[in-house]
Amino acid sequence: MEMTVYNPQKGRVETIDTVFTDENTTWFDHCTDGDIYMITDFEGDLLIREFGYTYPVRIYDMCRADIGFDQKKAQKLKNRY
């Protein structure tokens, strides 16, 4: 699936091609605007997506296991960027 993500390391949006599966993605239930909706491992990087209409954020050299598959840790990491 082709999608646009925000890359804070480059300071711009970019288009990537990814697939969301149970093996590479963790989804979170009962989300409202601003909550982390899903985290995905993508080519050695981490995609963090909020619930709503914002772009997912791509964080280099991180994976879901690095943050313990945790929604709150993902939110803190996203806020750092």
pLDDT tens, N- to C-terminus, the chain (81 residues):
999 999 999 999 999 999 999 999 999 999 988 899 999 999 999 999 999 999 999 999 999 999 999 999 999 999 998
Instruction: Tell me the three state secondary structure of residue 65.
Output: helix
Q: Which residues pair with 70 in a beta bridge?
A: none
DSSP summary character for residue 66? G
CB 48 within 8 A of CB 34: no
The proportion of the chain whose per-residue pLDDT surpasses 70, expressed as a percent, equals: 100
The answer to whether the pTM exceeds 0.85 is yes
Residue type at position 49: R
